[in-house]
Structures are given as structure tokens and as C-alpha cells.
Structure 1
């Protein structure tokens, strides 16, 4: 074997190594992109409350648009996340979705409220709520608030009917 054949074999090996490296790099980057897409899809599915819960529509009462703390809606549908209903000794926690049928502001179309109830038909505590610019609590919240304020319930009101549904729900825990 002469000098030229040794150099030729070294050149061909280095080009094969380059092809092998770029081939593996290309396959790795495709797999990485697919993993990233799957991660993003799962992440967004879990972020949006509408996709991660079991909403059940409840009666709206005579003041369906009343959101207690601020007037967001003239009228609204109400939903309870039955998977979020948890009994803790003498009180119950749950999430309620208030979805606009007729909004006061076009920027606010739904609220998701975390409530605490003593099932006394008198009051509920608004612990946290998120304001959404899209229907059914989908997408990223515009704002999150932690009012920790007590709402006094009136017989026949939307809050009263939501609370009654939760407190009479059969599948606690």
C-alpha cells in the first residue's frame, strides 16, 4: 500500500464520520423537537382549567351575572367542577366557573373561582379567582386575585344555588 492509498482511506473514514455525526445529530434534533411538542401539548392541556376538570352546569338563580365582588356580567352560566369538591371536616372546597352569556366588558368572558363553604346556606368564602378573556376559563388568565372575602348568600341567588349543589353532592371524596 502506497502513501496515496493510506491518505485516501483516512479521507474516506473522516467523511463517513462526518456523515455519521450529522445523521445522528439530525435524528436527535428531530426527536428533541417531537419531545418538545408533546411536552407543550400536555402542558397547555393541563394549564387550561376547562380541559382538566369535569364541569357540571348548575342552576343560575335570579342573579346569574352577579359575581359578588365586581360586576362583570349581565347574565352568565354557572358550572361546578365536581372533581374539585373536597370535604375537609366542617367545610367543603370547590371550583366554580362563571361563564358570560352577556358581558359588561368584552375583555372579561369568564371567571374560575375557588370557594370554601360551610354548607350553612348563609355564606361562602371566595378564596381565589382567575379572570379570563375567553369563554369557559380557557387560555391564560388575564388576572388572578386572592380576595379571601365572605359572600353572604341570598335564597334563590346564583351563589346560593351553586353552594346548595356542592353541599348536596353525593360523591364527596
Structure 2
């Protein structure tokens, strides 16, 4: 649900000014029907989930909520996955904690470059100037509850459970 909400907000920020914004309801129906930049969300994520189970040495599968709950644990998993585990000395010196701090939403979103700089995105032969700040929102899991209707939440839960049934993959709702 977070993915849908963030994708909708981001796409509206990325649209050319002459295009009208996409309504939440219209975006929801498109997402629900599997229309998105990466194809149907459930096919995309379940494909990587399955591949991570079949080849755990090649694909590390982490969920946003998991990273938010335990960033240090996830940093250690990533280092191990990349074949560069932290030594006991590095852990004792606070290297993991410093990486967590430097990669935190608060730190990155407050860097001057992300407040004042921009990138140029070329779309349909138009140069679109995009402020780096557009890549940051709240950095909180669960904000979808403040935007989606009860019916939208119920429909997403239903389709997600159906599409991922038997895979072992679950999402916090």
C-alpha cells in the first residue's frame, strides 16, 4: 500500500506541468488492474521473491518495513550478502551505527544537495527540471492509512493475499 501511495504522489510530482494530475482514485484503479511502470506489482515482487528463494546468493530480498524496524540488522545482512561482513572491531567502533545514521531518511533528506539541487529528466523530448527534494517524502511506513479509503485498503489486501497466496511472502498491512 505504501508503494502505491508513494508511486502516485511521485508520478504527480514528475508530470509535465501541462498535464493534469492523476487522481488518487484513477491511479488506484490502474494499480489494482496491474498498470504501472514496472508492470503488475504482484508479478514484479513475487518474481523477485521466488528468485531470492531459488538463488539467495544472487538476490537479497528486503522489505521497507523490515529495514525501518531494524536498520542495523539489515545493514549487516547487506554487508554479508556482498561478501564484506563487518568485523567485531568495526561493530565495536560503531561503523554499522554510523552507516545507519548516514543513510537515514532524516540525514539524506536534509543534505543541502537534496534541498536545493535538481536533475534534468528528458521525457517526450521535453526537458523537465526535477528538484532532488521530490525523491523524499516522509520516510515513514504506514502513511497510506492517512490517504486510502477503507474500501481501497480492503481491495488491496484482498488482491495482495490472493496473488501472493502460497508464496510465503507477506506484507505488513
Please tell me the TM-score bracket, short chain as reference. under 0.3
TM-score between the two structures when normalised by the length of structure 2: 0.19
Higher strand share: 1
TM-score between the two structures when normalised by the length of structure 1: 0.19
Higher helix share: 2
